[in-house]
Amino acid sequence: MTTSVPVSDAKRLTARGAKTRAKIIAVAAYLMYVKGVGMTTLDEVVAASGVSKSQLYHHFSGKSMLVRAVIEATGERIMRREREALSRVTTLADLKRWRDVLVQNNALRHGAYGCALGSLAADVADHDDIARLALADLFGEWQGLLAEVLQRFQHNGILPDDVSTEQLATGLMGAVQGGYLLAQTAHDVAPMATSITMALDYIEGLSKQP
């Protein structure tokens, strides 16, 4: 992940130290995803990870630095997934399959927890500018990947040249994140599927293909 702001206070670590740090981040990421950032305490992270409090504070000066590290790790995971998935999208049918995978993966949790990045943004955007900017970079990268897909559509003659791929990508990203939120509140992925499908239907309506 590339970001314009530093998000964590990682030090040069031994292999053992790196493993401990990664374990703390993984446990904190899970707890913050399920419970929310505000409701997750450092004591809970210590207990769930099996590390000592001194080990946690060796790697992170406080909760805000741990949250930023969680954002960094979560962003790397999601962007790696999306880069791989969207790089293979060359047709509208491919884009619909990408939608289906997002919805099906969220269905495993009945949509209960929403998008990991969206949940973090809702929790930290108002009180941690460094974390907010890191998340903005991540959402920008994800939206950029969608724009690249739509640009390929133009290059391949699927979409007209005068269509704004940036605007379409913004709308599709909004449908994805809004869909996650609707699924989270309903504990049902049906609204998420509907939201993304309507965005894809609009894109398909612009298509030059019969």
Token readout for 85 is 């998935």
Query: Could you read off the pLDDT of 26-74 as tens digits, one per residue?
Result: 999 999 998 999 999 999 999 999 999 999 999 999 999 999 999 999 9
Q: What pLDDT, on a 0 to 100 scale, did the predictor assign at position 209?
A: 58
Structure tokens at 49: 């990870």
Following CA atoms 39, 41, 47, 50 in sequence, which dihedral angle do they give, to the nearest 10 degrees?
A: 110
Asked if the model's pLDDT at residue 7 lies above 80, the reply is no
Domains and CATH numbers, the chain: 15-206 (1.10.357.10)
- The pLDDT assigned to 9 comes to 54
**Sign of the alpha-carbon dihedral angle for 138, 144, 145, 146:** positive
- Give 144: exposed, middle or buried? Use CB within 10 Å, 0-12, 13-18, 19+: middle
**pTM (2 d.p.):** 0.88
